[in-house]
Amino acid sequence: MAVKKSILLLLAAFVATALACSNTEDKKEYEEKARREYRTDIWLVDMETSADSVSLGEPRNITPRRGYDNQPMYLLDGSGLLFSVGVVAEDMEMRTDIFLHDLASGEQRKMTDTEESEFSPIPMPAGRGFSVVRLESDGTSRLWFVDDQGDHTEVILPDTVAVNYYNWIDANRIALLAGVPVSGEGKEPWTMMLQIGYVNYGKTRPVVEMPKFSRALQLKPGSHSLTVIRENEAGEPELSLLDLDSLEFSPLAKTLEGSYFTDFVWTEDPFLLMADDRIVYRLADDGWVMVRDFSDMLPGPITRLAVRPDNKQLAMVVWEVPLEE
């Protein structure tokens, strides 16, 4: 099933009901298994940019524990970052909750504590509260609003039930990669569709079917376009710009190593950054240029990137094991 190719539904196995556990030792064994299989940490590195270059400092791990720490996203004022954390609940189920890391104090506070799992936290465009993808008990994954205290939640697009990835375009529009049913002999029952969601109407508008896709949906600073990875006419993954007025695509560049399952991020300059294994690159006029090689500093490959709004810091999600393990 095409939807299951996404990382969100891959992680559904991670948050599904645990194997029957009847005592403390069983719980410890289950928790250790989860930590072995989902070992990601969030590293921060100072960043400086100029007219034609990007430089990165020394990385530091802000989640030095075994387990799942992922999907960092900075608050709009740059004071902290939201991220998702895998936890073993009292009922023996593995779930993800949203935490907030305060950059000044280093304190981390749980922002959601529900019986379901929340992923992909992004601050609301107006600056109050944040949105998440919630994997609900009936198997649907919808977009929800959470207030700043984590006390109040509200579904944003009630009828869009298979959200995988998303990003805010403005206060009313959301770019979504969501599963949609298809019909026809020999076809998969679901496929992935890039859509534009309209909060005021609670509805979405389909843009293009994307059976091969990337989780990153990034607005290019200073433009009215969305950057995605999609399949080009040669059948290769390609970074493309979607004009948000005409909804037409234009090619930007080939991805590193020809991969769909990769992440990228824009700086405010704007430079486009992408990682391959433990190396960060930027896109230049003549192709990809290495910014910094972290091979001697990071335990495994970089899988996600986020830039602080003031352009002074880069967050990286790093697997705790090398690619060859």
CA 217 – CA 248 distance, rounded (Å): 15
Q: Which residues pair with 106 in a beta bridge?
A: none
Nearest Cα to 214, choosing from 197, 231, 198?
Answer: 231
Q: What's the CA angle centered on 188, arms 183 and 190, to 5 degrees? A: 75
What does the pLDDT read at residue 17? 35
Nearest Cα to 42, choosing from 300, 309, 270, 325?
Answer: 300
Q: Would you say 21 and 292 are in contact if contact means Cβ atoms under 8 Å apart?
A: no
Instruction: Report the chain's C-alpha Rg in angstroms.
Output: 19
Full 3-state SS string of 46-82: EEEECCCCEEECCCEECCCCCCEEEEEEECCCCCEEE
Task: Write down the residue that tokens 């080939």 correspond to.
Answer: 254
What does the pLDDT read at residue 73? 98
Task: Write down the residue that tokens 């609003």 correspond to.
Answer: 145
Q: What's the CA angle centered on 320, arms 314 and 322, to 5 degrees? A: 100
Any idea where the domains of the chain sit in the sequence? 2-53+60-213+304-319
Enter the tokens of residue 73: 């996203």
What does the pLDDT read at residue 15? 40
Please state whether 186 falls in left (phi above 0), alpha (psi between -120 and 50) or beta.
Answer: left
Pick the CATH number of 2-53+60-213+304-319 from 3.30.70.60, 1.10.1740.10, 3.30.420.40, 2.40.128.660: 2.40.128.660
- DSSP 8-state secondary structure symbol assigned to residue 162: B
What does the pLDDT read at residue 263? 86
CA 202 – CA 91 distance, rounded (Å): 34
Q: Would you say 18 and 93 are in contact if contact means Cβ atoms under 8 Å apart?
A: yes
Q: Would you say 81 and 101 are in contact if contact means Cβ atoms under 8 Å apart?
A: yes
Full pLDDT tens readout for the chain, 325 residues: 333 333 344 444 444 333 333 345 555 664 555 555 578 999 999 999 998 899 999 999 999 988 899 999 999 999 999 999 997 766 657 789 999 999 999 999 999 998 899 999 999 998 899 999 999 999 999 999 999 998 899 999 999 999 999 999 999 999 999 998 876 555 567 889 999 999 999 999 999 998 877 789 999 999 999 999 998 888 888 999 999 999 999 999 999 876 656 789 999 999 999 999 999 999 999 999 999 999 999 999 999 999 999 999 999 999 987 555 4
